[in-house]
Amino acid sequence: MRCAPPGNALSLTLTHLDLEDSEDCTNDALQISVDNRTVYNLCGRMSYEELQSSVNPSLLSSVSGCLSLSFNSDYSNSERHNGFRAFYTVQDVDECAHEDNGCNHFCSNYIGGYRCFCRHGYRLQTDTRTCTAMCTEDLSGSLQGMVSSPGWPGSYAADAQCSYTLSVEDGVQLVLEFNGEFDVEEEDGVCKDSLLIKTPNQDFGPFCGKDPPASPILTGSHQVQIVFNSDSSGSNAGFRLIYTSREKTCPNQVTPNSQVTPKLPRYQKSQKVTVQCNTGFFHNQDVAEVPHIIDNVTYTSWCGRTGTWSPVYSCEVVECGEPDIQENQWPLDILNMTKTQYQGAIHLQCKSKYYNLEGEERYICDHHGEWRSEAGQTDFPKCVPVCGRTEKELISFGRIIGGTQAEHEQIPWQLRIVQHRAGAALINDKWAITAAHVFNQLKENPRILGGGIDLKQRKTMINLNVEKYYIHPKYLPQEENYDNDIALIKLKTRAPLSSSLLPVCLPAKTDAAAMEGQWGTISGWGATKNNDMAGRSMDLLYANVEIYSSGKCSQTPLHKDKQVPLVFTDNMFCAGDRGKDSCKGDSGGPLVVPPLGPAVSKDKKPYQLYGIVSWGEECGDLGYYTKVDKYLDWIKETMEKESSSAQ
C-alpha cells in the first residue's frame, strides 16, 4: 500500500499482465484497491494497449488517498507465466479546477495546495477564502462631507463590509441627508444588503430598497458610525449622503413613561420643560431633598448644550404589592393574579363551597397603589358562610314530642350544649345563638357539639370550643320571666363547615301579623314526653308547628309553683300544633322558617332562624319562643365589637 502526501494523488500504470487464467480468477490473481475500495481482480493475459484503455484510467487515488496491490498464486500452473509489472507516480492536484474551492475572486494552484487572491480594492478575510471591499474609513474631525457606497455612482461591490466613522466636538450634532439615487438590494421586503446609522444613544435603520430614508436625519449625537453590508449577489447602485453639523438639540422625551410641557419636536439649549409621569408611574425621589421635583409625578428639566436633559428622574411604575389578605378573612383566596403593578388584576374566590363571596371578585391595581374593584371599593370582599341551606331536604313531616328522627345533614345548624342538655343554633362559622336562661346556673364556658344527630355516637360529633358567651343585657333571671331570653356564643376557632355543619340564616325584620298562621320547624334532643327528662331522645327529632297570633299567646298559663301568670311580651311568640311542641332539653334550640320538608324548587328561600325555644308550662301545648328579629341590632353590634377588638 502507498498513500499520497497532502495536496497530491497517486497514479498507478500497469505495463504487463500475464497470469494463469481461471474462472473468477480463483487460482492466480492481482487485486488492486483505490482508497480502500477494490476496483479490479485481474488474471489472464492483457496487452499494454488493453491495459491503457480499460484498466489504468481508473487507477488514480483521491487527494492524500491510497493505492493497494495484492498478488496471489497457487501451485497448479500447467505452464509458466511472466506475472505483472506496474509503476506508480505522485501527482499534484489542481484544486482550483474544483468549483467548491471557496475562492470568490481568484484561485492560484501550487504543488501540494492552492491560494485565494482578491481583486484590487478588496481584502482577503481571515477565512482565506472570502474577499471583502476595503471601505472602512475614519472621517473624524470633519464638520461636513460625503459618504457613499463603494463603486458609486456605479454598482456597489459585492461582499462589502463598510464602516465610516464621523466624529465632531460634543457641543454639536451630525445631520445626515441623502443625495441622489438610493438603491440597496432587498427581496420580498427583507434587506439582503443594508445601511445602518448608529449613534451611542440610538440606531437609524437598517435601510434598503429604492426609497431613500426621510431626511434630514438629526442624529442628536456628535458621534456617528455608518455601516454598509452587501452579499455576493446583486448589481444595485447603492447610496450617497451628505453630512453636516449644527448645534445639538434635545429630544421630545426626557424619560420613558412621561410627558413634557410644552410639547415640541426638538428643544434648543437652555429651554425648560415640565416633566409629568404618565398615570400609574411616579418619581421615587424625596420631594423635600430634590428642589426640581414639584410633586411625586412632576418635575422641571432643562436642555443642555450636549443635547441631554438635566435633571432626569425615572418614572417608576406604581406597585400595589401582594394583596394583604388577613387571617380573619379566611377562606378568601386569590384565584389568579396577572401582576402586582399598575393595571395588574387579581381574581378572588372562597376556598370552600360552604362560603359565598360577598362583594366583587375582580380588583385592579390603581395609580394610587391600591387594589380597587370596578365599583371603586378598596376593602376586599368577605367570605360569608352559606346559611339556611341543607344538602339533603327532609322527605316527611315529624314531631319532637311524638316526633320523627332527623336524617344526617338535614338540620346541620343544630348544636348541643352538653352541660345543660340544651340546644343552640350555628349562625356563622364563629358564632352560635341560644336562650339566655340556659346559662342561669352555668359557671364556666359550655361544651358544644355539632355535626351529628345521634348522641350515642357523640365521639364522632364535632367539638366546638367556646371562647365567651354574651347574655342580653336586659335579660333579668331574678324576675323569673323570659323576656329578652337570648344569648350569643363566640367560638375560639372557626367551625369546620361541611354538609353536616352549616349555619342557619338570621331573619329579616318581620311584621308579627304577617307571621301568624305560618309554619316553622323546631328540633332538639329534648324530652319526648311531658316533662319526662328521663325520656330525653338520643336522636335529633324535629316537628313542624304553627305560629299563633299574639292574642292566643297572651292567654298565658299560671306559673306552676307560684300560681302567678308568666309574662308574655312583644319579644316573644308562641307556636304549636295539637300535641306537637318543644319540651325540656330543647331550650335554646332553633325554630326555622320555612318549615323543613320536601323541596319545592331551587329558588326556595333559605331557612331563617325566626325563634329560639324559650319556655312553656306543659309540653305538647303551646311553646313560647324568643323572637329573633327583635334582636338583630344587638346581635350585629355584639359580633362586630368582638371582631374589631380581636384584630
End of a domain among 131, 157, 186?
A: 131
Q: What share of the chain is helix, strand, coil (3-state, %, to 5)?
A: 10, 40, 50
Q: Looking at the structure, do residues 189 and 105 belong to the same domain, yes or no?
A: no
Q: Considering only CA atoms, which of 63, 76, 61 is closest in space to residue 26?
A: 76
Q: Based on the domain organization, do 235 and 116 belong to the same domain?
A: no
Question: Of 31, 63, 93, which one is at a domain's C-terminal end?
Answer: 93
570 in a labelled binding site: no
218 or 597, higher pLDDT: 218
93 annotated among ligand-binding-site residues: yes
Confidence class for position 233, pLDDT limits 50, 70, 90: confident
441 and 588 share one domain: yes
CATH number at residue 450: 2.40.10.10
Same domain as 115, residue 81: no
Of 125-129, 322-326, 395-399, 503-507, the range with the lowest mean pLDDT is 395-399
395 — pLDDT class (breaks 50, 70, 90): very low
pLDDT at residue 125, as a whole number: 80
Give the CB-side neighbour count of residue 56, counting CA atoms within 13 A. 20
Point out the catalytic residue in the list 437, 537, 614, 629.
Answer: 437
Q: How far apart are CA 334 and CA 337, in angstroms?
A: 7
Say what the pLDDT of residue 328 is.
72
Tell me which residue has cell 445639538: 248
Stronger pLDDT, 317 or 232, i.e. the higher one: 317
pLDDT of the residue at 154: 87
Q: Is residue 512 part of a domain?
A: yes
587 in catalytic set: yes
38 and 84, same domain (yes or no): yes
Average pLDDT over residues 512-538: 76
233 is in an annotated binding site: yes
Average pLDDT over residues 590-614: 81
Residue 558: pLDDT band (50, 70, 90) is: very low
pLDDT above 60: residue 601? no
Does any domain span residue 108?
yes
**pLDDT tops 60 at residue 91:** yes
The answer to whether residue 646 scores a pLDDT higher than 90 is no
Round to whole Å and give the CA distance between 254 and 267. 11
Asked if residue 394 belongs to a domain, the reply is no
What integer is the mean pLDDT of 313-328? 87
What pLDDT does 465 receive? Answer: 94
The Cα 499–Cα 127 span in angstroms is: 79
Q: State the pLDDT at residue 583.
A: 66
User: What's the pLDDT tens digit per position in 579-588?
Assistant: 554 566 688 9
Domain match, 311 and 435 both: no
Q: What confidence score (pLDDT) does residue 627 get?
A: 96
| Best CA proximity match to 147, nearest among 225, 36, 31, 235 | 225
Tell me, what CATH number does 28's domain have?
A: 2.60.120.290
pLDDT > 90 fraction of the chain, expressed in percent and rounded: 46
Least confident of 46-60, 74-88, 456-470: 74-88
Q: Are residues 79 and 123 in the same domain?
A: no
Q: For cell 323569673, name the residue.
A: 480
Which H or E element spans position 54?
A: helix 48-54
Same domain, 225 and 278: no
Tell me: do 34 and 160 sit in the same domain.
no
Out of 234-238, 535-539, 605-609, the most confident range is 605-609
What is the pLDDT averaged over residues 298-312?
A: 90
429 is in an annotated binding site: no
Q: Which CATH number belongs to the domain containing residue 117 in this structure? A: 2.10.25.10
Residue 322 lies in a domain: no
pLDDT at 1: 87
Per-residue pLDDT, 363 = 95
Residue type, 251: P
What pLDDT sits at residue 647? 58
pLDDT at 373: 94
Residue 614 a catalytic site member: no
Report whether 74 belongs to an annotated binding site.
Answer: yes
Which pLDDT belongs to residue 394?
38
**Residue 110 known to bind ligand:** yes
pLDDT given at position 283: 83
Q: Is 76 annotated as a binding residue?
A: yes
- Indicate whether 646 belongs to any domain: no
Judge whether 431 lies within some domain: yes
Write down the pLDDT at residue 130: 80
C-alpha span between 527 and 504 (Å, rounded): 24
Res 602 pLDDT > 60: no
Same domain, 144 and 157: yes
CATH number for the domain harbouring residue 371:
2.10.70.10
- In this prediction, residue 399 has a pLDDT band, given cuts at 50, 70 and 90, of very low
For residues 469 and 400, the model is more confident at: 469
User: What is the rounded CA–CA span in Å between residue 196 and residue 204?
Assistant: 6
Q: Would you say 295 is a known binding-site residue?
A: no
Q: Are residues 489 and 373 in the same domain?
A: no
- Does residue 645 fall inside a structural domain? no
Which residues, listed in sequence order, are joined to residue 494 by a DSSP beta bridge?
Answer: none
Is 314 within any annotated ligand binding site?
A: no
pLDDT at site 291: 57
185 labelled ligand-binding: yes
Q: Cell numbers of 12, please?
A: 498507478
Q: What is the pLDDT of residue 481?
A: 79
Residues 495 and 567 in one domain: yes
pTM: predicted TM-score of the whole model, two decimal places: 0.60
For β-strands 45-46 and 541-547, DSSP reports them as: unpaired
Spatial separation of the C-alpha atoms in residues 255 and 263, rounded to whole Å: 14
Q: What is the pLDDT of residue 306?
A: 85
Q: How many domains does the chain have?
A: 6
pLDDT band at 102 (very low <50, low <70, confident <90, very high): confident
Which of these ranges, 194-203, 403-412, 597-606, 629-638, has the smallest mean pLDDT? 597-606
Within-domain flag for 262: yes
Q: 472 an active-site residue?
A: no
Q: How far apart are CA 490 and CA 429, in angstroms?
A: 10
With CA atoms as reference, report the closest residue to 269 among 294, 246, 235.
246
Which of 245, 258, 587, 614 is an active site residue? Answer: 587
Average pLDDT over residues 359-372: 93
Task: Single out the catalytic residue among 159, 183, 429, 485.
Answer: 485
Answer yes or no: is 28 a known binding residue: yes
Residue-level pLDDT at 396: 34
Last residue of a domain, which of 217, 247, 277?
Answer: 247
Please give the pLDDT value at position 63: 83
Residue 106 belongs to domain spanning: 97-131
